[in-house]
Amino acid sequence: MKEILQKIKPSKQEEKKLRDISNELISKIKERVKKLDSRIEVKLVGSCSRNTWLRYEKDLDIFLLFPREYSKKELEKVVENIGKEILEKLQKKYAEHPYVKGEFKGYDVELVPCYLIESPRNMVSSVDRTPFHDRFVRENIKGKEDEVRILKQFLKGISCYGAESKVEGFSGYLCELLIIKYGSFLNVLENATRWKFGEVVQFGDLSKKKLRRKFPNSPLIFVDPVDENRNVASALSEEKFARFVYAAKEYLRNPKYTFFFPKKRKKCKRDVISKFKKRGTEIFAIIFEKPDILDDILYPQLRKTIKRLKKALKEREFIVEGSFFSVSDRKVAIYFELRSSKLPKAKLHLGPFVSSSHEERFLRKYKSYDKKLTEPFIIGKRWAIILERKYRDVRIFISDILKKGNGIPTHIMEAIRKKFEVKLNEEAILDEFLEDLLQYFDPRFPWEN
């Protein structure tokens, strides 16, 4: 564990440097703010403020707390002006709330305006809650900062760190709360081995039943100590929850270094192709330019696209064995593994019960139907007919669907409308996506590499 800490804990020197720079930055901001309104507070929040940051994290989150009479427009204006004066490479960002991003002496800085409120109950947007998070952690984390660091690195190693849509994992704040709750990294793991889907963790004693009804699809419900209406783990997916629980068990059985620092897998195209061919299944990939949107929009839309296409494939009786997507620097590929990319021409179409009210319509419809291979006949109680399948080749079906685009999220559809390719089998195994292809065909956990 010492060895791990050595790699991830900032040195005294690094810490001093961070403190110096953040102090410099804050006083610069304060100077400017004072001229505007002495009631506006400036606060460093996040892992730097709480002393739980990792060596390679270079983020300074600075919050400006405004009295309630300011409008959102005014908030935006203030941070924009200050950002312009102090930061380099300024970017305006919009989440629920406006903020700016930039650089200051090599550190990534976020300048976020929020309202100064007495209690999270009065918050206008969720950023208003952040200073309360910060205070709660600072008041409770003393002496356990390194445990937080170790937990974060563990989660990073098993690809479960981060609440952003790309990861769907554990946020830094959630890590801190887990350490506050259970006292140490090992205690968190030990408790996690007993977690079930829908697990409830809290500092209070709210009814678990009510909480599960309130957050019905959350694998983990961690009640926010500063706002009991919020689940801190709301971004955590079932899969990442499951992976963490299993990793905790495995680590306690066999505490390997690779949980924290997994080896990179050697990718070799020939190896991936041979693994694919051994299966005897078929794959196809839909490939298009990566749309220029935030990851937090891209990833959910990709997940929705896969869901939509899977449903469409099933309706047409293509049997989906698996699916995933892969995002490279410039392109996106959506992969499907199928039992077969082709279907026979004929399919049995079951109709209504004989003598039911739908009988006549069925018989009339197929009397002069040009896609029938037989006349209607009776199987048991029901009418049936053998029809020609509309789609026998998955490539044609998928191309048709993508041209129509029903139900496919807008940004993905826009990218696809510009240009897309559908590639089959070996041709779909492209260097650009090799890492994810290898992971798909030989799915091992990061610590097992």
Residues engaged in binding a copy of itself (CB under 8 A): 195-197, 219, 238-239, 242-243, 245-246, 278-282, 321-322, 339-340, 343-348, 353-355, 373-375, 377-382, 386, 392, 441-445, 448
CB nearer a copy of itself, residue 95 or residue 354: 354
Other residues' Cβ atoms within 10 Å of the Cβ of residue 404: 11
Q: Shortest approach of a copy of itself to residue 278 CB, angstroms? A: 6
H-helix or E-strand containing 79? helix 72-86
* Cα 36 to chain centroid, rounded: 39
The type of residue at 205 is: D
How far apart, in whole angstroms, are the C-alpha atoms of residue 361 and residue 357?
Answer: 8
Assign 41 to helix, strand or coil: strand
CB nearer a copy of itself, residue 42 or residue 248: 248
* Cα 85 to chain centroid, rounded: 34
User: What is the Cα Rg of the chain in Å?
Assistant: 27
CB nearer a copy of itself, residue 187 or residue 439: 439
Q: Shortest approach of a copy of itself to residue 2 CB, angstroms? A: 30
CB nearer a copy of itself, residue 38 or residue 254: 254
CB nearer a copy of itself, residue 252 or residue 354: 354
Q: Shortest approach of a copy of itself to residue 372 CB, angstroms? A: 11
Assign 13 to helix, strand or coil: helix
Q: Shortest approach of a copy of itself to residue 192 CB, angstroms? A: 9
CB nearer a copy of itself, residue 257 or residue 377: 377
How far apart, in whole angstroms, are the C-alpha atoms of residue 98 and residue 79?
Answer: 9
Q: Shortest approach of a copy of itself to residue 313 CB, angstroms? A: 15
User: Which long-range CB contacts under 8 A does 10-19 form with residues at least 24 apart?
Assistant: 10/53, 10/54, 10/55, 11/55, 14/55, 15/51, 18/48, 18/53, 18/60, 18/107
Phi, psi of 364 (to 5 degrees): -65, -45
CB nearer a copy of itself, residue 186 or residue 363: 363
Q: Shortest approach of a copy of itself to residue 216 CB, angstroms? A: 14
CA dihedral sign, ordered 133, 134, 136, 140: positive
CB nearer a copy of itself, residue 125 or residue 356: 356
317: left (phi over 0), alpha (psi -120 to 50) or beta: left
Of residues 238, 251, 253, the one with CA closest to residue 157: 251
The type of residue at 303 is: R
- 115 with 64: CB under 8 angstroms? no
How far apart, in whole angstroms, are the C-alpha atoms of residue 76 and residue 71?
Answer: 9
How far apart, in whole angstroms, are the C-alpha atoms of residue 398 and residue 282?
Answer: 15
CB nearer a copy of itself, residue 138 or residue 392: 392
How far apart, in whole angstroms, are the C-alpha atoms of residue 114 and residue 18?
Answer: 24
Q: Shortest approach of a copy of itself to residue 270 CB, angstroms? A: 17
CB nearer a copy of itself, residue 78 or residue 160: 160
Q: Shortest approach of a copy of itself to residue 382 CB, angstroms? A: 8
Assign 334 to helix, strand or coil: strand
Q: Shortest approach of a copy of itself to residue 316 CB, angstroms? A: 13
Q: Shortest approach of a copy of itself to residue 75 CB, angstroms? A: 40
Phi, psi of 241 (to 5 degrees): -60, -50
C-alpha angle 244/247/249, rounded to 5°?
Answer: 115
Q: Shortest approach of a copy of itself to residue 151 CB, angstroms? A: 19
CB nearer a copy of itself, residue 232 or residue 248: 248
Phi, psi of 355 (to 5 degrees): 75, 10
